[in-house]
Structure 1
Amino acid sequence: MADDKRGRNKQARNAERRQREREVAAELERGDEAEPPVDAGELADFEAELEAVTFPATGTEVVAAVGDREIESVEGSYRLEELVPETDAETFDAPAAVLVQVQRPTVAEAMKQVVEASTTLRNPAFSPAQRKAYEKTFRELKAVDAVDDDEGIQAISDWIVERIQDKETLPSSRAVRREAAKFCRANGYEVRNDEWLGI
């Protein structure tokens, strides 16, 4: 490869692509699900379509550009607009961030509802720690409630949205975990104290 501007740009793009691939692979490994619901080939095809988006990009910009794109998962088919919050409050630094969002469609759907509901608040900003805690709670519910059509995830996302509307504030991550534990116990699922939901 020539040592000119075009060659250096190509090397930089290749390095960025490899870094995104490593980030997605690391996120998949860290995930608590036995296997991600979206196939890696599907994610690679989708990443190619994301090249049309200039990053960093808001959720609104991502949905406007590729919102009608169908994502196939083992649980069904989802349009991107069902998984990414259509709001300027949600920002994605790179295509890898969008890929991480859509690789677990049921969690992404729940977070979309919560993020969009939070935009009605005077101070709608999620702290990164609170967002990760919400997502981890949804992933734990997915693991516990895998055979029941994810009713736990829907119940807790509905509860969060109701709290946002009624109390005009985001519930604490501890309150969300407590509510998820109550749901699990009420539906016959054991929640031990040493688990994430075991509050």
Structure 2
Amino acid sequence: MADNKNGREAQARNEERRQRERAIAEELERADESEPPVDPTELAYFESELETLEFPATAAEVVATVGGHEIESVDGTYTVVDLLPDAEVESFDSPAEVRTRVQRPTIAGAMKRVVEAAGEHQSATFGTSQRDGYERTFRELRTIDADDDDEGIEVIADWIIERIHEKETLPGSRDVRRRAAEFCRSNGYSVRNDEWLGI
């Protein structure tokens, strides 16, 4: 590249993108996930698109800005609108937080459905720890049920949504874990008492 202002700016952008790709790749390696990987380059470009937003940003703002962006994983191609709820109740503090959410498409899609169902009922509000508990339960199901088309994640997401519609409130995190453990055991998956689902 030419040693002028444009060349230096291009080099700086390329270096920043490479650093972002390395950070994403390291994070994906550290995460003990069975979710099919999303290419770190894909996530780095996506994260750079998010820089047009002012953070903290709601999920609805993210969807409005980059909802049509496609993210390819080993399982298939998803748009951001498939993975994030078009809702004000969920917010993100940084582009990295959005990237972390969409790098697990199966779990993100299930959480989108739950958040949108909760948004239909004023009394069904999420606390951060409850949301994290639901997501961790989905991650555990993904690990256990990785070979069965994520049936467990769909079953538990459906169960949560049914409870929201019936009782107009979110089931507790322990109830969700208990239901997930019942699903696992009834389908021949072992769940030990010292595991997250082992209630």
Shorter chain as normaliser: what TM range? 0.7 to 0.9
Greater Cα shift, 188-197 or 46-55: 46-55
Which residue in 2 is equivalent to 1:80?
A: 80
State the AA in 1 paired with 2:157.
Answer: S
State the AA in 1 paired with 2:83.
Answer: L
Which residue in 2 is equivalent to 1:65?
A: 65
**4+ runs deviating over 4 angstroms:** 19-27
State the AA in 2 paired with 1:82.
Answer: D
8 Å CA contact 1:32–1:139 kept in 2: the answer is no
Residue 32 of structure 1 deviates from its aligned partner by 3.0
* In 2: Cα distance, 1:131 partner to 1:29 partner: 24
Q: 1:140 to 1:70 in 2, by over 3 A?
A: same
TM-score, normalization: structure 2? 0.84
Deviation sequence 1:56-95 (CA, Å, 0-9, x none): 2111111111101100011111000011110011111110
Aligned residues between the structures: 184
Consecutive unaligned residues of structure 2, counting only runs of 5 or more, are: 1-16
* In 1: Cα distance, 2:174 partner to 2:25 partner: 29
Residue 121 of structure 1 deviates from its aligned partner by 2.2
8 Å CA contact 2:124–2:168 kept in 1: the answer is no
State the AA in 2 paired with 1:127.
Answer: G
State the AA in 1 paired with 2:140.
Answer: E
* In 2: Cα distance, 1:41 partner to 1:22 partner: 9
* In 2: Cα distance, 1:23 partner to 1:167 partner: 42
TM-score, normalization: structure 1? 0.84
8 Å CA contact 2:35–2:104 kept in 1: the answer is no
* In 2: Cα distance, 1:136 partner to 1:177 partner: 9
Structural RMSD (CA): 2.4
8 Å CA contact 2:181–2:191 kept in 1: the answer is yes
State the AA in 1 paired with 2:158.
Answer: D
Match of 1:77, SS state, is strand
